[in-house]
Structure 1
Amino acid sequence: MKGPFPIHSIPSQPWKNQAGTTRQIASGQGWRVSVAAVGADAPFSVFRNTRRQSIVIEGDGIQLRCGDRSVELLPHVVSGYAGDIEWQGHLRGRPATVLNVICEKDVAEAEIFVGRAVEVCADRQGAIVALPICCSMSYVLESGEAGVASRGTAFVCDDREFMACHAVAEWTTGIGYIIAVRLTPATNGAQGD
């Protein structure tokens, strides 16, 4: 288990294509979870033989285009797309912060849960990454450990540990939700496009 820890304490790294920056929250066998700051239209990095899932956690959204293909990355909505396509990102308004989950095909897969209350269990050799968005998050682990993760933090647990999370809305906004990512080894035929 790791966390909760402030995301801003993670050193910012340049994108693979040098067009932006990201903060890697966690990584494992064939997967990576990170938060990227997108301040302008830019190409997205290409990761061969991967499947990506993204959710805009701040900002108006991003449209990804490549030829006649397009994918909309929207606030609070999980979007899946191929990682080995040369996507051009176009902001839908103000700068965006995006949670990105990248999994190597046939190695790892991810399931993303979004809501005010989330209960998820890590699989054998898997992990869970949870983030409170615009709120704090109370959590309870199978071991009985309980606590509160504040806005702007991340929480990582693994080894089949069960985690129940509940969003606690901040009085100034009245909104808030949790993103929990369950990462597991790939099953046969998983992660195809």
Structure 2
Amino acid sequence: MTRVQRFSRATLPVTPWKNGGGTTQEIASWPQGAGLDSFGWRVSIATIAAAGPFSVFAGIDRSIMLLEGDGVRLFTHDGRIDRRLDVPQQPFAFSGDDAIDCTLLGGASNDFNVMTRRGQWRADVRVLVHAAVIEAAPHGVLLALRGAWRLNDEACTEGEGLQWADAAQAWHAVPESEDARLVAVRIVPA
């Protein structure tokens, strides 16, 4: 049986960061209840409210995407990474092994984050603007970024989404408004 759960950004619990620089709203992680040192994959929304270093996650592949706000600049002190995250809905992939620093480009921003344990899981992160078939994946998250969507038989409006774990699921995603945007995350074995 496919285990699909609805969620809303408005009701996700908010957890402050240890360094005080922001907060996280976890959408889903697997296995359920796994901590930051033992998850196979994790999808969340973070509010970055202050400059500072990103947490290092050894052995983790990461993808981050600006949702709202002025954005941030991500960089390593050796110059290998220097990326402005100031255009919404443009995923940027990087290694959690890297010691990344972050500066704000204005005020606080909200970012969509996907983390997968390298060698176990891999994430495909896409932003959809047109009707599409999202191929089956054993795990995943769909979040309406803007407008309304029909996801198989489920209706989702801005800020609402679906997540599933440990069950192969494919989706027919159909926008129901002109400005609709949907982030689709498929998590598959590496």
Identity %: 29
Count how many residue pairs are aligned between Structure 1 and Structure 2. 175
Change (3 A) 1:118 1:99: farther
**Matched residue type, 1:24:** E
Query: 1:63 matched to which residue of 2?
Result: 73
Change (3 A) 1:23 1:75: same
Pairing of 1:1-193 with structure 2 (within 5 A): 1-15=3-17, 17-29=19-31, 30-67=40-77, 68=79, 69-73=81-85, 74-116=87-129, 117-123=131-137, 126-140=138-152, 146-158=153-165, 159-169=167-177, 175-186=179-190
What are structure 1's unaligned runs of at least 5 residues? 141-145, 187-193
**Matched residue type, 1:175:** D
The CA RMSD over aligned residues, in Å, is 1.8
What are structure 2's unaligned runs of at least 5 residues? 32-39
Change (3 A) 1:118 1:61: farther
Q: CA deviation at 1:16?
A: 5.6
Deviations 1:97-146 (A, max 9, x none): 110001111111100121123321333xx212000012122110xxxxx0
Give SS of 2:176's match: strand
8 A contact 2:23–2:47 mirrored in 1: yes
Measure, in 2, the Cα distance between the counterparts of 1:48 and 1:18.
22
Measure, in 2, the Cα distance between the counterparts of 1:37 and 1:154.
18
Q: CA deviation at 1:18?
A: 4.4
TM-score, normalised to structure 2's length? 0.83
TM-score, normalised to structure 1's length? 0.82
Deviations 1:155-174 (A, max 9, x none): 113411111112333xxxx5
8 A contact 2:149–2:180 mirrored in 1: no
